[in-house]
């Protein structure tokens, strides 16, 4: 099936921001199917969109309506696609999170997503069903300004890179291991991909292959990503991460990166040599091609926050035009940051503020504070992640439908707790967590209330170990009020909140043994997932669901139904 894109110019003149704006409908037809690909030179079964992984980039403009008709051509597997960073205002049923906002899309079925991209910026899309994202079903959404408007920073060209990590075993194999008693950890990824291209060291295969196709460094699928630049020009580089597991450091040898956008919001510019980026985050950085143009430069991604000595770094090449694009840089790629030093990561998180002139002032106070203690647990011998000692399990009837149609049997009506035993819990110790439970209960938020979330990190089941968790909120942006080390102090830490120029984001890390404070308005009627964006962590229960303003949700489309208790609706 050829990718078909209809650009329908709708004669719709809306009055937005005082300007006459033309909003378009952009229509795509996507076929999702299984194919063999070798993104890191090692052949494995992946999931493609119209034959590609990463899938096609959606390039659109603010206020456009996006229509994506997804045909599931997998054989026995369902799917669902989440539009990460798009708030789905008025269309909560098209958020694409299976079990939360829709039933899965069955093989042979075409599902039509339709939503408005109401803010400019850099976003992503990806499968939101089981751990299917890890099979390669992901891509970028780039929302430009309406015609006639301009960004508050100057650049000559706009380029896009998605970063990822990559496993050689299938997501089903991974899921079997993660669900096993005893627990079987998936390990570190085999490689890092830069825009869908990586390089696994075929000669490092413990099992040397006589099949020349299995691992072949001359496969065009894994020819390195190359960014060609014209000397002297400035590039807006949109960098997104959709790693399964890894926190990354991204860098371009010898070039400064000026951070100007995060998750669709303008950042008060600051300069870094390496950008720390967590799964689910998007950034724009400005890069000036101001170095010696006679040579090429390394583009690298490295794993931080976890030891991964056997995972080769992601490597691409910044090519100064007219150098030969296949010419490797003469240098050794820049060294990775020390993996277990979280201070520079914490510092970079704290450096991200809203850009002057584009500050959204948060409400001064919140109506409710929920503290989420992040712990690793064991429930009936099974390794799980929990929030306040409750490990999330997916229901079989999507919450949005259950709530709207008052199907009270569809999920546990008892909400999980708003906090944990702050006084007595030692976040630096391992805990038996004997009282940990599984539940699909949800948090019901008062519509239009202001909610504070404190993400509190803690020790895992391993001694002296705490991990980085990037938490992603569906349906909203939140203000990032602060980050800290150790246990959040409810009496003193709120006084340090940044209420002046906090950045708004949809994904934010909580650093090892640290805390992160967020604030958001529960102003988007629907049911919304908030979860760790590490695929295995969410699979193992690291998430919650918020519901708000359900009475304001319009008539649900029948296309999202057909599963669980909605089979007969």
Q: How far is the CB of 112 from a copy of itself (least distance, A)?
A: 13
**Contact flag: residue 109 with a copy of itself (CB under 8 A):** yes
Rule CB under 8 A: say whether 35 interacts with a copy of itself: yes
Q: Smallest distance, Å, CB 556 to a copy of itself?
A: 11
Rounded distance between C-alpha atoms, residue 163 and residue 507, angstroms: 15
Residue 404's H or E segment, with its range, is helix 399-404
Distance of CA 394 to the CA centre of its chain: 19
Residue 178 parent element (H or E): helix 171-179
Near a copy of itself in 115-144, by CB under 8 A: 129-132
| CB within 8 Å of 568: residues ≥ 6 apart | none
Neighbours of 535 (CB within 10 A): 27
Minimum CB distance to a copy of itself, residue 104 (Å):
7
Contact between 216 and a copy of itself per CB under 8 A = no
Could you tell me the smallest distance in angstroms from the CB atom of residue 430 to a copy of itself?
A: 29
107 part of the interface to a copy of itself, by CB under 8 A:
yes
Size of the site for a copy of itself (CB under 8 A): 43
Cis peptide leading into residue 222 (ω within 30°): no
Site for a copy of itself in 167-186 (CB under 8 A): 170-173, 175-176
**Minimum distance from residue 316 beta carbon to a copy of itself (Å):** 29
Least distance (Å) from a copy of itself to the CB of residue 137? 11
401 near a copy of itself (CB under 8 A): no
Prior bond of 322 cis (ω within 30°): yes
What value, to the nearest 5°, has the Cα angle with vertex 85 and ends 47 and 259?
Answer: 105
Taking CB under 8 A as the criterion, the residue among 75, 309, 381, 406 binding a copy of itself is 75
- Cα–Cα distance between 142 and 237 in angstroms, integer? 12
Does the footprint of a copy of itself cover residue 381 (CB under 8 A)?
A: no
What DSSP assignment string belongs to 202-240?
A: GGG-SS--S-TTTB-TT-GGGSPPEEEE-TT-EEEEEEE
Minimum CB–partner distance for residue 407 and a copy of itself (Å): 14
| 213 vs 486, beta carbon nearer a copy of itself | 213
Contacts of 11 (CB under 8 A, 6+ apart): none
Which helix (DSSP H) or strand (DSSP E) does residue 456 occupy?
strand 450-456
Q: Which is nearer to a copy of itself, 32 or 272 (CB)?
A: 32
Residue closer to a copy of itself by CB (options 181, 500) is 181
Residue 424, strand partner residues: none
* Max Cα distance, the chain (Å): 67
Nearby residues of 28 by Cβ (< 8 Å), 6 or more positions away: 3, 4, 5, 56, 58, 66, 67, 68, 69
Query: With respect to a copy of itself, which residue has the nearer C-beta, 170 or 223?
Result: 170
Tell me if 108 contacts a copy of itself by CB under 8 A: yes
| Interface pattern 524-563 for a copy of itself (x via CB under 8 A) | ----------------------------------xx-xxx
Please list every residue from 194 through 213 that binds a copy of itself, using CB under 8 A.
Answer: 206-211
**Which residues form the interface with a copy of itself (CB under 8 A)?**
34-36, 45, 75-79, 103-104, 106-109, 129-132, 170-173, 175-176, 206-211, 394, 396, 558-559, 561-564, 566-569
């Amino acid at each position: 099936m050829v990718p078909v894109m209809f650009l329908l110019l709708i004669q719709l003149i809306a009055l937005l921001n005082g300007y006459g704006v033309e909003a378009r409908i952009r229509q795509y037809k996507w076929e999702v199917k299984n194919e063999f690909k070798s993104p890191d030179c090692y052949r494995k079964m992946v999931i493609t969109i119209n034959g590609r992984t990463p899938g096609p980039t959606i390039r659109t403009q603010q206020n456009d309506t996006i229509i994506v008709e997804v045909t599931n051509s997998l054989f026995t597997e369902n799917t669902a696609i989440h539009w990460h960073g798009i708030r789905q205002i008025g269309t909560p049923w098209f958020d694409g999170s299976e079990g939360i906002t829709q039933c899965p899309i069955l093989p042979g079925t075409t599902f039509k997503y339709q939503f408005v991209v109401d803010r400019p910026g850099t976003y992503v899309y990806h499968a939101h069903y089981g751990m299917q994202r890890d099979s390669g079903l992901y891509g970028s959404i780039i929302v430009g300004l309406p015609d006639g408007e301009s960004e508050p920073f100057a650049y000559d060209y706009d380029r896009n890179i998605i970063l990822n990590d990559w496993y050689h075993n299938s997501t089903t194999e991974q899921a079997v291991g993660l669900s096993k008693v005893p627990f079987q950890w998936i390990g570190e990824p085999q490689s890092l991909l830069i825009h869908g291209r990586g390089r696994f060291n075929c000669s490092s295969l413990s099992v040397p292959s006589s099949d020349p196709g299995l691992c072949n460094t001359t496969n065009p699928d894994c020819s390195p990503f190359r960014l060609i630049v014209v000397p002297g020009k400035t590039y807006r580089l949109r960098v997104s991460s959709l790693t399964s597991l890894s926190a990354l450091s991204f860098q371009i040898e010898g070039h400064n990166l000026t951070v100007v956008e995060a998750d669709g919001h303008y950042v008060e510019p600051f300069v870094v040599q390496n950008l720390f980026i967590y799964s689910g985050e998007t950034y724009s950085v400005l890069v000036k091609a101001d170095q010696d143009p006679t040579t090429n430069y390394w583009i690298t991604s490295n794993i931080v926050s976890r030891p991964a000595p056997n995972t080769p770094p992601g490597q691409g090449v910044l090519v100064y035009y007219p150098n030969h694009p296949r010419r490797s840089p003469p240098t050794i790629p820049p060294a990775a940051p020390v993996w277990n030093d979280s201070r520079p990561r914490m510092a970079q998180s704290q450096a991200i503020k809203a850009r002057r002139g584009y500050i959204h002032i948060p409400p001064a106070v919140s109506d409710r504070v929920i503290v989420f203690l992040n712990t690793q647990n064991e429930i009936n011998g099974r390794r799980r992640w929990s929030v306040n000692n409750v490990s999330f399990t997916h229901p079989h009837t999507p919450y949005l439908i259950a709530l709207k149609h008052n199907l009270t049997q569809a999920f546990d009506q008892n909400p999980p707790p708003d906090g944990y035993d702050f006084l007595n819990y030692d976040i630096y110790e391992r805990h038996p967590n004997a009282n940990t439970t599984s539940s699909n209960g949800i948090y019901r938020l008062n519509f239009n209330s202001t909610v504070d979330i404190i993400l509190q990190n803690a020790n895992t089941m391993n001694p002296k170990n705490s991990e980085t968790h990037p938490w992603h909120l569906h349906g909203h942006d939140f203000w990032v009020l602060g980050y800290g080390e150790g246990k959040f102090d409810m009496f003193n830490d709120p006084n340090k909140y940044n209420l002046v120029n906090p950045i708004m984001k949809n994904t934010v890390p909580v650093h090892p043994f640290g805390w992160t404070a967020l604030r958001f308005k529960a102003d988007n009627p629907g049911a919304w997932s908030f979860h760790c964006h590490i695929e295995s962590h969410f699979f193992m229960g690291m998430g919650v669901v918020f519901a708000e303003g359900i009475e304001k949700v319009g008539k649900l489309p029948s296309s999202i139904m057909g599963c669980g208790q909605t089979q007969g609706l």
